[in-house]
């Protein structure tokens, strides 16, 4: 039984669909009821998928959602912490409020949701957790200091969770996506003076010659949660079309200023 946060669209939605198709009962968690309900209805064409509304930065809201999930679908043994947001800006441009919001959504939520599910994992004696990191975990992106800092935190938190959970059969890994075709990256391109040029330049960073798709990342998540990865924990699975292997083209154009910042789940 799988819980996927930030699953109303993009990577989270693709992961929920893929897991449902593989036979898992999937609890799709999102902050806005219309969006997550619509996504769950669509995902249910692949298998069992239900919507649960919760702000993953709010411990009480997570507990309420988990109570409903457990009553309806059983005790989760898979968790994908996918909810995320990016608000661009260097440390001199981004506000304290926006800095805190990114840490709450991108990093604190991983702690809160994982903490809520951990007792059930222990009772089962098994679980697989996948946290969504980013190339920004290991690769500084201009004018995106807060986002990169949160994702670097996700990378180390993954390792700590893996060490702490191993004795209870809890495996924890993270995925490092490159530039993926989601609403988040499209908003970034649209904010550039020449969106088409920005897209071409981003594609040029990837040796494989294209941006990723949500399904590319979903496949990695499903693998890490499967029995095929039963001896894999504490690692980062880079799925980035080769972008972090080395600079393949000119650096990407400057990110938009804070005034044209974008935000939302992937």
Task: Provide the annotated active-site residues.
Answer: 147
Alpha carbons 190 and 206: distance in angstroms, whole number: 20
Helices (H), 49-142: 59-73, 96-103, 109-124
Query: 233-263: b or e for each residue (b if 16 or more CB lie within 10 Å)?
Result: bbebbbbbbebbeeeeeeebbebbebeebbe
Q: At what angle do helices 145-165 and 96-103 cross, to 10 degrees?
A: 30
Alpha carbons 88 and 103: distance in angstroms, whole number: 13
């Amino acid at each position: 039984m799988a819980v996927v946060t930030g699953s109303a669209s993009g990577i989270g939605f693709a992961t929920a669909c893929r897991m449902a198709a593989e036979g898992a009962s999937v609890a799709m968690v999102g902050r806005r009821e219309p969006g997550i309900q619509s996504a769950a209805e669509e995902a249910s064409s692949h298998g069992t998928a239900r919507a649960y509304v919760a702000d993953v930065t709010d411990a009480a809201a997570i507990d309420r959602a988990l109570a409903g999930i457990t009553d309806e679908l059983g005790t989760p043994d898979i968790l994908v912490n996918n909810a995320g947001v990016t608000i661009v800006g260097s440390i001199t441009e981004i506000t304290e409020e926006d800095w805190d919001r990114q840490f709450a959504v991108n990093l604190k939520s991983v702690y809160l949701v994982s903490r809520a599910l951990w007792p059930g994992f222990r009772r089962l004696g098994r679980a697989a957790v996948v946290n969504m990191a980013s190339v920004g975990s290991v690769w500084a992106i201009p004018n995106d200091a807060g986002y990169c800092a949160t994702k670097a935190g996700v990378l180390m938190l993954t390792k700590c969770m893996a060490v702490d959970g191993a004795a209870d059969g809890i495996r924890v890994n993270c995925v490092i996506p490159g530039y993926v075709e989601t609403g988040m990256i499209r908003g970034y391109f649209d904010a550039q003076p020449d969106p088409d040029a920005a897209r071409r330049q981003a594609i040029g960073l990837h040796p494989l010659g294209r941006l990723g798709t949500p399904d590319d990342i979903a496949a990695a998540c499903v693998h890490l949660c499967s029995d095929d990865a039963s001896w894999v924990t504490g690692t980062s699975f880079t799925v980035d079309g080769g972008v972090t292997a080395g600079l393949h083209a000119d650096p990407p154009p400057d990110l938009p200023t804070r005034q044209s910042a974008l935000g939302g789940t992937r």
